[in-house]
Structures are given as structure tokens and as C-alpha cells.
Amino acid sequence: MDEINLFSEYGWALYLIMGFLLSMVEIFVPSFFCLPVGLAAIATAPFAFFLPPWASLMLWGGFSSLAYLGFRKFARKGFRRRLQTGVQGLVGQSGHVIEAIDPATQAGRVKVMGDDWGVFGMEEAIPEGASVRILEFQGNRIRVEAMIDVDAELHQQFERKLKDAIIKSN
């Protein structure tokens, strides 16, 4: 009978300790089970101070079920994206021009994720070494667009302003 009195007096502290421990276990055992149950125990702690032990256990079970179902719905939403593999996974990736792209001859080569690709459907010339983004693929060729190299652009603007300042001071 003393165990019941102990639980009814300090049950709220046991729920807090158990909740924090279960939440910490989730870090080491990523199962999406310990965290909802631990958070439910933490949420039950204030009620356990006023409720009898059997009622607080029932409340903890209810909170655990709601938290688990909520986490499950949240987790499913995050995993709904389809994984793009193969050539379809290249769309949106970036690469570097290893042979200058000439729109007149549709010649040029791009290196993407270690693979060398030819280009098609180009409307603008892109110099060797430029960064590009893949727009689409067709067979064993890809269509790309030039990406703005922010660092190089800022460096060029700085050099222009520096030259202008030197010319004005002379």
C-alpha cells in the first residue's frame, strides 16, 4: 500500500523524469516511438499532481496515443516526396562546363556529379569553367542554363569600383 501512496505523492516527478529520459532515448534510438511517449509523460505530469494514479496512467496512455498518431502523420508528410534516381535525378543539379558551349553548333560538354554530358538546345554561349544548372535531359544529352557566380560577380564589381576610385583620385 505504501507504493501507491508514494506514486500518488510523487507521481508527477516520476512522469517528468520518465518523460525526459524517453525523449533523450529518442536521440540514440531514432524510432519515433520514445519521443511521443516521453512528451506525453511530460504533459501528464501536471495532471498527476491532482489525479489518482489510475487516472493519470489512463491520461498518459491517451496522451501517448495522440502524440504517436500526430508524429506519425507528420512523419508521413515528410516522406511523401519521391526519390529521383538515375537521369531524372540530374534535373536541378549543378555542374561545370568543361568544354565551352556554342549555341550555333550545339557543341559543348558539362561535368555533373563526375559524369561528362553533351548539351542540346542551347540559346546562349557559356564559357568553359562556368557553373550551370540542368534543366532537362534528352537521351544522353542535357540542356543547361548558366548560373550566376556571385563571388566572381562581386569581385568584378569591386575591381571596377576600385579602378574608378583610382582614376578619380589621380
pLDDT tens-digit map of 119-131: 888 888 888 888 8
CB 139 within 8 A of CB 118: no
Do 71 and 6 fall within a single domain? Answer: yes
The owner of cell 574608378 is: 164
Which residues pair with residue 13 across a beta bridge?
none
Assigned domain for 141 exists: yes
Same domain (yes/no): 11, 46:
yes
Do both 13 and 49 map to the same domain?
Answer: yes
| Cell numbers found for residue 42 | 511530460
Residue 131 included in any domain: yes
What is the SS3 assignment for 92?
A: coil
Q: What is the largest CA-CA distance in the chain?
A: 96
Q: Where are the beta strands (DSSP E) in 39-127?
A: 94-102, 107-112, 115-119
Q: Is 105 helix (H, G, I), strand (E, B) or coil?
A: coil
Q: Using the predicted structure, report yes or no on whether residue 1 has a pLDDT greater than 50.
A: no
Range of the domain at 49: 2-78
pTM check: above 0.85: no
